[in-house]
Every structure is written in C-alpha cells, then in structure tokens.
Amino acid sequence: MEGLRASSISSGVQGNATSHHSGRVILDGYKINHVPVSGFPGLKKRGHAHGSRSWIKIDEGGNSKVLELDKATVMRHCSLPARDLRLLDPLFIYPSTILGREKAIVVSLEQIRCIITADEVILMNSLDANVVQYKAELCKRLQTNKEQSDDLPFEFRALELALELTCMSLDAQVKELEMEMHPVLDELASSISTLNLERVRRFKGQLLALTQRVQKVCDEIEHLMDDDGDMAEMYLTEKKQRQEAYLISELYSETNVSGGPRLVSKSAPVSPVGSTSRVQKLQRAFSCLSSSKHGSLTGSSNGGENIDQLEMLLEAYFVGIDNTLNKLLSLKEYIDDTEDLIHIKLGNVQNQLIQFELLLTAATFVTTIFAVVTGIFGMNFEAMVFDYPDAFNWVIIISGVFCAMLYISFLIYFRHKKVFPL
C-alpha cells in the first residue's frame, strides 16, 4: 500500500510538473510565434520584457537620452514604492496627481508622467504632443539657463514646466470647446431640432469629462498648497545638500576621533578592518538618514524651512487653472440657460395647444347642441309647428343664435379666467 501511495504521489508530482512545463512552453510559444492564448493579452505583453518600458532621462545640463528600464530598477533608483509607479503606467487610468517623496516627486498630469529628482527627470516616453513638447522645452530651458543664475532649484523648474504645459493644454481645449458650443447653442435657441439637440448632448458629455479633469488638477494643486509638509517634502535639492553635508561632517568627525591625519609610509601595511568599519559606519549613517522621513534633517523643514517659493509657484498656476475651471462653469451655466429657454418655449407651445384644444371643445359642445335641436325636428312626429311653412326656419335661426351666444360666453369666461388672451 505504501508503495502504491508513493507511486501515486510521484506520478501526481510529475503530472503537475508536466502541466507547469507545458504552460511554460505555451508562454514561450506565445512570445515567439505570437499564438493567442486565453487570458489578458496586456498582462502577457507586460511580462514579455520583464516590465521594461521606454523612459527619457534629462539631466541638469539639458541632455536627454532614451533608456529601457524596468519597474524594479526605477523603484530602487528613485526610492519609490510600487503604488507610485502605477500612477505612471499608461495601461491604468488615474486622475492627475503630484506626490512628494523622500528622493523624488511623482508627477502625473494628463499625458505628462514623470519622476523628478534633485538632478534629473525620468520621463515616460510617448509620442503624445505634450510629452514631446515637455522634453524639448525642458532641455531648451536647462541649456539656456545653464550659465544664468536661477532662484528655482532643478526640481521646481521641471515641475513648473509640467504645470505650465498642463494648464495651457487644458485651457486650449476649453477655448476650442467654447468656440464650438456657442454657435450650436445659439442655433438651438432659435430653432429646436433633433440634430441640434444631439449635438448639444454630445458637447455636454465632453464638457462634463473636461470639467472633471480640470477640477482634479485644481484640487491637487490646492491640496499641496494647504499642506506645508507635502510642500517641504518637495525640496529635493536642499535635502540632498543636507545629506551631503551630514556625510562630510560624519567623515570629518571620524577623522578627528581617529587622531587626525597621520603620515603613513608606502611600505606600511594597511589594515582592511579599520577602513571597512569606517565605510560600514558611513553607509549605516547614510541609510539611517535616508530612511528617516521625519528626522532631524529632512523633517526639520516642516518647522523652519521657507516654503514660500514653492507656494508662490503653485499659487500662480492655481489661479490659471481656477480661471479655466470658471470658464467651464460659465459654459455649463450657458447650457443650463439654453435648456431653460427651450423648456419655456416648449411649455409655451404646449399651452397654445391646450388653448386650441379648449376652443375646439367649446365649439364641439355648441355644435352638438345645434345638432340635437335639428335632430329632434328631423323626427317623424306630429306637431303644431309643422303647420307653418316658416316655423322650422325660425327654429334653426333661434338655435344658431343661441349657440353663437353660448360660444361667445365661453370665450368671455376663458378670458376672465385668463386661460388665454384674446
């Protein structure tokens, strides 16, 4: 029994291994022959090159080059968690976001998705016009201002350009939508038709989507302006200088503790233990410094650091994006006013139809009375009135005058009740 059980277990393991191996062969076949398999094709493509994507690296001198980096390399280089890189993934749709981290600023504004550090920008490579313009304009500005002194650090210049291009792009889209909608709304106000209503419905959907995008950018900038800690976290150049100063001071203190500089002969043996311990101490100090986000070095910016520079920068673009948002709100109010006007016109037409229906109802009632009188005298029965030749004519005349007076009385009643003006 034990032998049979062992053989069954071994055969099951071999079966699983075979199934795993066959699955691996299918994946390899998908890579080589591009055979469609079940599942999500997007996930297959992501695993094809181990998550590698095309990035554009721009340094402080304005030099750019295209790199193929995977997600793990970017995470290690910029000290970012995986959830921050998901904001930059073009396969996912996330709203506009600006995140300040310890060594980088994660920017996801419309099509501009990049990671800004103290000395370089890692931009998601794309053929979008905004991405191409951002790369060209940033390189141009960095090369132009290379010899000039600029108050803004490198990370703020890169962030400013991203905000500028995003605000300009959204404002241009709003102006284009406004120019297209005004003639259609004016035409709809003068002539209500199914074609004009369909065009306004389509424009209203575009207006709603654009308003949500502009609102998200506006809220993100306002959120940064309201949080001093997030703004202080974005001073990457200053934090880098503090780290370097701390390392230099640590090295200087280690030198003083060891007795100052000493002359060592070339033939004297060098102990690897002392140098190794010193390097380990420096690495340990650097890791402690970089890992403490709210420590005495990086966290002191919340209290004494001057964040007015970044706040003024954000405030300038907040005013611009808020103005764009006001244009969209004004356009929405114009659409609402046009809809109210259409409803008023349709209500007026409906009232006219009701008035006409009342007139027809009153006329039908009067005519019915006249028809009843004529119908009664059209019956075959004996009456004194038939002995006179002109008697029936007088009955017709009297009935007609009575019906006319009754109809006029209805009109006077309607006018008195202000059902409709005559």
pLDDT at 8: 44
pLDDT at 150: 65
Closest CA to 200 of 216, 182, 213: 182
Residue type for position 408: I
Closest CA to 192 of 329, 332, 348: 348
Residue type for position 115: I
Quote the CA–CA distance of 247 and 144 in Å, as a whole number.
33
Quote the CA–CA distance of 376 and 409 in Å, as a whole number.
25
Closest CA to 153 of 305, 291, 294, 302: 305
Percent of the chain surpassing pLDDT 90: 31
Quote the CA–CA distance of 116 and 32 in Å, as a whole number.
37
Euclidean distance between the first and final Cα of the chain, in Å? 108
398-418 pLDDT per residue, tens: 888 888 898 898 888 888 877
pLDDT at 122: 93
312-330 pLDDT per residue, tens: 999 999 999 999 999 999 9
- Would the pTM of this model clear 0.75, i.e. be above it? no
Residues of the chain short of pLDDT 50, as ranges, are 1-50, 260-279, 281-282, 284-305
Quote the CA–CA distance of 37 and 31 in Å, as a whole number.
11
pLDDT at 391: 75
How are strands ordered across the β-sheet holding 120-124?
64-69, 53-59, 120-124, 112-116, 105-109, 97-100
pLDDT at 378: 73
pLDDT at 256: 64
Cβ atoms within 10 A of the Cβ of 404, count? 12
